[in-house]
Amino acid sequence: MTRVLSVVIATTNVGKLAELRALLADLPVQLLAVTEVLGENLAINEDGATFEHNATLKARAVCQATGLYALADDSGLEVAALGGRPGVRSARFAHERATDAENNAALLRELEDVPDASRAAKFRCVLALANPWAPAEVETVEGSCDGFIARAPRGSGGFGYDPLFVVPELAERVMAELSDAEKNAVSHRARAVRALRPVLVRLLDERLREVERALG
């Protein structure tokens, strides 16, 4: 497949990068990691209070640094019994440089006395796409997945809180027990990508028209 549009993914999370590439594999879009373009990571201070703020911040910064379309993902876990925490601090719930295992352990400690009926949670993902020709105009879309938090980690797949996030619609397995295809059918990121598709298709159509005009 000929790739007619290049987009830099504003993340160093290999799990997110792999999922986005799988979810968009059928489109003629070349998805590049930041390090592939810049040769190094781009330090961005994610100090926003919302997923949308942080995704927009990252998309604009990477777009400006690379001169290419930039797609940023900001996502996390919201637990009802914790008032929506960890939210935007999902990757830093235990501490600033926490591993996935440390974050999962911290979450279980906070929910230790919470009964099963009150362990509802939601994965949320906001995708932001920045355009190098109009950097002020960042398009955002959102996806979410409802579930609840298990009492112990299960499974060996995925990343982040996947070992604890139970998906009721899939026989109450946790995300980490799902195949890639199953996860990519129901996850918050998959739903956000589905919402993004019309935007990418429009950009692809515009790009193809530009090529046709250039060829005469």
Known catalytic residue at 146: no
Report helix angle 188-215 to 14-23, nearest 10. Answer: 60
Supply the DSSP symbol for 30: E
- On whether the CB atoms of residues 166 and 150 are closer than 8 A, the answer is yes
Q: Return the residue matching tokens 């637990």.
A: 79
Q: Which tokens sit at 166?
A: 């139970």
> 141 phi and psi, to 5 degrees?
-135, 165
Residue from 26, 47, 74, 180 carrying the catalytic annotation: 74
- Characterise 103 by phi-psi region: left (phi > 0), alpha (psi -120 to 50), beta (else): alpha
| Alpha carbons 196 and 180: distance in angstroms, whole number | 20
d(CA 13, CA 35): 11
Which residues touch 35 (CB under 8 Å, ≥6 apart)?
Answer: 12, 41
Show which residues are catalytic: 74
